[in-house]
Amino acid sequence: MGPGAPRPSGRGVRRASPLPLTPLHGRMAAAEGRERGKAGVGAPHCPASKVVANMGDEDWDTEILKPHIPSFVPVFDKDTFSSGANGDAFNRASDSSEINDVPTRRDQFMRSGFPSGRSLGNRGTDASDQSSKRENLPTMGGFGPGKGFGNRGFSSNKFEEGDSSGFWRESNDYEDNQTRSRGFARRGGYQDGNDSEASGSSRRGGRGSFRGCRGGFGLTHNSESEREDGPQRPGGFFSSRRTGLVDPAGNGDNFRGRSVGGRGGYKGFNEEVVAGSGRNTWKSEAEGESGDFQGPKVTYIPPPPPENEEAIFAHYQTGINFDKYDTILVEVSGHDAPPAILTFEEADLCQTLNNNITKAGYTKLTPVQKYSIPIILAGRDLMACAQTGSGKTAAFLLPILAHMMRDGVTASRFKDQQEPECIIVAPTRELINQIFLEARKFSFGTCIRPVVIYGGTQLGHSIRQIMQGCNILCATPGRLMDIIGKEKIGLRQVRYLVLDEADRMLDMGFGPEMKKLISFPGMPSKDQRQTLMFSATFPEEIQRLAGEFLKTDYLFVAVGQVGGACSDVQQTVLQVGQYSKREKLVEILRNIGEERTMVFVETKKKADFIATFLCQEKISTTSIHGDREQREREQALGDFRCGKCPVLVATSVAARGLDIENVQHVINFDLPSTIDEYVHRIGRTGRCGNIGKAISFFDPEPDSHLAQPLVKVLSDAQQDVPAWLEEIAFSTYVPGFSGGTSRGNVFASVDTRKSYQGKSSMNIVGFSSAQAPNPVDDESWD
Ligand SMILES: Nc1ncnc2c1ncn2[C@@H]1O[C@H](COP(=O)(O)OP(=O)(O)OP(=O)(O)O)[C@@H](O)[C@H]1O
C-alpha cells in the first residue's frame, strides 16, 4: 500500500488496543537476528534502526491492529547506582516488579474581528491590507502603537480568598477529567461545555469513548496526556507493554526489564486516549513502591550534574533578536505595582548573585525580568505571562535568591526532615531538573542549597538528597506529595511557592495536588507566603482558579504579542493528510540536514513508531515520552542536546519549558489538541532572541477545530496564513469565538480580574519594556 492509498479506517494509531503495543516488538525481535550488524545511519543512537528492516506503509495499520503477546521476558538489571556502595539503606535495589447557514456564519465570522480573505495571507506590506486587518481585528486595533494605557479598575473582587469551592466544584461539574481539561484548553467562548467535549472527542478520534475501560485495573485515567509523576502503574498482565524500541545509548537493552522502572508497566485499553491535560486521580507515587498498590519499584538514580564551574555556567548565546525584546509591550495590572527596573544593577542584588549573573552571560534584563524582579523583591504575589524562551526562570529565581540572601538563610544541617524556604513545582521531570540547574547556577557560592526531586527516580535517592540540606526544593507534584507524606519535608518555613507553567499546574491534571499542597498541615497560608506563577499561556479559567492560591492584591504581568506565540519563530502550516505525513516529514528532515529538530506527535505509541521509522530512513533519531523509563528519557534528551541525535520525536511531555540550545526547527507532525499547547511546542525554538522555524502538518479531519485559533495566532505573529486554513476557519466558525482568552488582546494574556472588577481600584499600565516607567505614573490606557 502506497502512502496515499486509502486505509480501511481512520487514524490507525488512535485505535485502542487491548494489548500492549506490540507491532514493533514482534517485528523487531524477529528482525533483530536478520538485521544485526546492518545498522543504518541512526544505528548507534537508535538501535531500532538495526532491527526494523523494511517497515512499509502497510505495516502501520496492520501492526497496530494485530496484537501480539510480547515474547520477551523482563530482565532485572542490577542497578549500578543502587549497589549500596554508600552504605545507604535507601540505595539498595531490591527485587523489582515493578453552527447554521453558511453566509450567516461567514458574516458572523467577519464581524467577529477575524481578518478577511487574503489580507491575512500577506505580511502587512500592503497598506490596505493593514488597515483592513486593523478594522477586522478589533483585538489588535484596541490600541495602536503609542497609545497609552492606564487605569482600569474594578469594584468587586471575585478573588476573595476562602472560596475554595470553585476549584473543586469545577472539578466535579465535569463528567471526567478530559472534559474539563479540554474545556479549559478551548479557552472560553469558542465552544462550551458538552459541545466542546463531544466535538473534541470526535475530532480526535473518539477520545472519550474509551473512558473507564481499563482492562480490569479500574477507572484510573490513563490518557496519552503526558502527565508527569502520576501513580506508578502496576505490572501484571499488561506490564510489558513497552515497545522496547529505541535505546538511544545503544545499550542493547531493548528488552531489559521493561516492567521494572519508571513509568513502565501497565497501560490499559484507553491508551490511545488523548487529552490536553491529564487526570485527577492522584495516588502516591510511593504506592508503587511501598503502599498497597503494589507496582514496579523504581530504582533509577540520575547521574549527578557536573560540579565544575564551567559546566554550571555553560550557556548559549542570546540571538540577534534579543534587543527586540525592548519593543515588546508589557501590561501590569493590580494595585501599587512597583516600578520596573532597566538594569541588573537597579535590582541591587548582592555581589555573589551579581557575579553569578555575569558568569551566566546575562548582561541585559528581558522584559519579564524587568517587571517581575522588582515585584517579587517588593514581596508581592505575581502571575506573569510572557512568551516562550524569554527568561521567566531567572525572573523568579533571582529575586527569591536575593531575598534569601538578605534574610540570612543558612545552610540547612543534615537531618531527617528538612524545611525549605522555597518550593518550586513544574509539570515535567526534565523541566524541573532544568529549573534546578538554573537555581544551582544562580546560588553558586552561597550557602543556599537547591535540591531536585522527581518521579521515575528512586524515592530513596530523593530522600537522601533532601536530608543533606534543602533550602530550595524543585519538585514535580507527585514526588513532592510523596516526600511530604513521608515527613521528609516540613512546610512551616515555606516563604516562596513557585508554580512554573502555572496554567498546567492548576488544570485538572495537577490542580488537585496543588490544592493539597497549599492546604497541607503546616503550609503557611497565602498571606504568610509569596506565591508566584509563571507561564506563556494563562487561560481565563485557570486564572480564576489561581486566585485561590494568591493574595487578593496579586499583580499580573503580561508580556508579548497576542496569543503568546514567540514572534521569533517563523510558523508554516501545511495541509497534509495523515497518510502523507511520514513522507512529508522525511522530505523536510532531509532538507533540514543536521539541524536540531523536535518532531511532536500526539501519542506515545506514535512517538516510538515515528522514531523507528526515521531511524529506518537513516535519520538519526531518538524519542521522549511518558512511557519511556526515566533513564531513557534523560539519555534521549542528552543525545539530542549534544547533537548525537539531531532529531527528537516527542509527545507534549517535551512541549513546555525545555530550553535546548540550537533547536532550529519544530515540526508538528500531529497538531496538539489545544492552541496553547501549540504555542508552547513551537516555543522550543526561537528562544532568547534566536530565530527558529516551526512547520505544522494540518490534517483537516482531526484538526479543523484548531483552524480558527491557529489563524489568530498566525496573524497576530505577522505570519502568513494559508488561504485554505482561512477557509477551514470560516467553515468551522463558532459564533462568539474571539480567539479565546488571550486572543482578544495585544498581550499574551489578560488579567481576568479586568472582566470582573470595576474601574475604581485596579491600575493597569502598559508600555514598551525599554521605557519601563513607573507604572502608576503612566498615562491612562483607556
Ligand atoms: N537576561 C538574560 N540574558 C541572557 N540570557 C537569558 C536571560 N534571561 C534568560 N536567559 C536565557 O534564555 C533562555 C530561556 O530562558 P527560560 O528557559 O527561563 O525561558 P522561559 O521564559 O521560561 O521559557 P518557556 O516559556 O519555554 O518555559 C535560557 O537559556 C536562559 O538562560
Please state, rounded to an integer, the average pLDDT across all residues of the chain.
Answer: 69
End-to-end CA distance of the chain: 61
Confidence of residue 188 (pLDDT cuts 50, 70, 90): very low
Measured CA to CA, the distance from residue 183 to residue 108 in angstroms comes to: 23
Any ligand 1 atom below 6 A from CB of 537: no
- Residue among 400, 495, 411 nearest 445 (CA): 411
**Pocket of ligand 1 contains residue 681 by CB under 6 Å:** no
Q: Is the CB of 392 under 6 A from ligand 1?
A: yes
Q: Write out pLDDT tens, residues 16-71.
A: 232 233 333 333 333 333 333 333 333 333 433 333 333 333 233 323 333 332 32
Q: 502: closest CA among 547, 470, 471, 472?
A: 547
pLDDT for the residue numbered 163: 33
Q: Are 442 and 398 in contact (CB under 8 A)?
A: yes
What is the mean pLDDT of the segment spanning 691-700? Answer: 97
Question: Residues 292-325: pLDDT tens digits?
Answer: 345 678 999 999 999 999 999 999 899 989 998 8
Residue-wise DSSP of 151-197? B---SS-TT-TT-THHHHHHHHHSSSHHHHHHHHHTTSSSS-HHHHH
- Nearest Cα to 343, choosing from 283, 398, 304? 398
> Cα dihedral angle (159, 160, 165, 168), rounded to 10 degrees?
30
Q: How far apart are CA 14 and CA 206, in angstroms?
A: 8
Nearest Cα to 394, choosing from 351, 424, 429, 428?
A: 424
Query: Would you say the CB of residue 341 lies under 6 angstroms from ligand 1?
Result: no
Residue closest via CA to ligand 1's atom 15 equals: 391
Question: Residue 389 C-alpha to ligand 1 middle, in angstroms?
Answer: 5
d(CA 688, ligand 1 centre) in Å: 6
Please report, as a single letter, which amino acid is at residue 167. F
Q: Is 659 in the pocket of ligand 1 (CB under 6 A)?
A: yes
* Nearest CA-CA partner of 280 in 193, 360, 220: 220
Closest CA to 439 of 430, 450, 448, 447: 450
- 287-291 LR contacts (CB < 8 Å, sep 24+): 287/231, 287/232, 288/98, 288/231, 288/232, 288/233, 288/234, 289/232, 289/459
CB atoms within 10 A of CB 751: 28
Instruction: With a cut of 70, say whether residue 162 has pLDDT above it.
Output: no
Nearest CA to ligand 1 atom 4: 362
Q: Is 390 in the pocket of ligand 1 (CB under 6 A)?
A: yes
Predicted confidence at residue 355, as pLDDT, reads 98
What residue has cell string 506490564? 239
Instruction: Specify the amino acid at residue 176.
Output: D
pLDDT in tens, 197-224: 223 333 333 333 333 333 322 223 333 4
- Note the pLDDT of residue 156: 34
CA 131 to centroid of ligand 1, rounded, Å: 35
How far is it, in rounded angstroms, from Cα 686 to Cα 388?
8
> How remote is the CA of residue 4 from the centroid of ligand 1, in Å?
42
Render 248-277 in DSSP notation, one character per residue.
TT--S-TTS-TTTSTT-B---TTTT---SS
Q: Is the CB of 456 under 6 A from ligand 1?
A: no
DSSP annotation string for 621-648: EEEE-TTS-HHHHHHHHHHHHTTSS-EE
Q: Ligand 1 pocket: which of 330, 366, 434 to mutate (most atoms <8 Å of CB)?
A: 366
Helix axes 477-485, 511-519, angle to 10 degrees: 30
Ligand 1 close to Cβ of residue 391 (< 6 A): yes
Q: Is 555 helix (H, G, I), strand (E, B) or coil?
A: strand
Distance 253 CA to ligand 1 centre (A): 36
> Grid coordinates standing for 506?
492548576
Pocket test for ligand 1, best of 567, 687, 690 (most atoms within 8 A of CB): 687
Q: How many CB atoms lie within 10 A of CB 205?
A: 21
SS3 state at 594: coil
Ligand 1 close to Cβ of residue 683 (< 6 A): yes
What pLDDT, on the 0 to 100 scale, is given for residue 750? 66
Is 521 in a helix, a strand, or coil?
A: coil
Residue type, 236: G
Question: Per the structure block, which three cell numbers stand in for 631?
Answer: 533513564
Could you give the C-alpha distances from 83 to 93, 347, 452, 453, 706, in angstroms and in order? 7, 47, 22, 20, 51
Q: Tell the residue nearest (CA) to atom 8 of ligand 1.
A: 391
Q: Over the stretch 607-663, which tens digit does the pLDDT of each residue have?
A: 999 999 999 999 999 999 999 999 999 999 999 999 999 999 999 999 999 999 999
CA angle 376, 382, 385 (to 5 degrees): 115
Q: Whose CA is nearest to atom 27 of ligand 1?
A: 657
| Residue 213, CB-side half-sphere exposure with 13 Å CA sphere | 14
Is the beta carbon of 366 within 6 A of some atom in ligand 1?
Answer: yes
Q: Which residues contact 382 (CB under 8 A, 6 or more apart)?
A: 372, 375, 376, 532, 533, 554, 555, 556, 557
- Is residue 536 within 6 Å of ligand 1 at its C-beta? yes
Task: Indicate whether this complex's ipTM tops 0.90.
Answer: yes
Q: How far is the CA of 318 from the centre of ligand 1 (A)?
A: 9
Answer for the pair 394, 438: CB distance below 8 angstroms, yes or no: yes
How large a percentage of the chain has pLDDT more than 70?
Answer: 55
**Which protein residue's CA is at the shortest distance from atom 9 of ligand 1?**
391
> Looking at residue 125, what is its pLDDT?
35
Residue ranges and CATH numbers for the domains of the chain are: 309-559 (3.40.50.300), 569-732 (3.40.50.300)
Top mutation candidate among 353, 438, 501, 688 for ligand 1, by most atoms within 8 Å of CB: 688
Indicate whether residue 233 lines ligand 1 (CB < 6 A). no
pLDDT for the residue 561:
61
Task: Report the pLDDT averaged over residues 500-528.
Answer: 96
pTM of the model: 0.68
The residue among 759, 635, 706, 754 whose CA lies nearest residue 332 is 754
CB 572 within 8 A of CB 694: yes
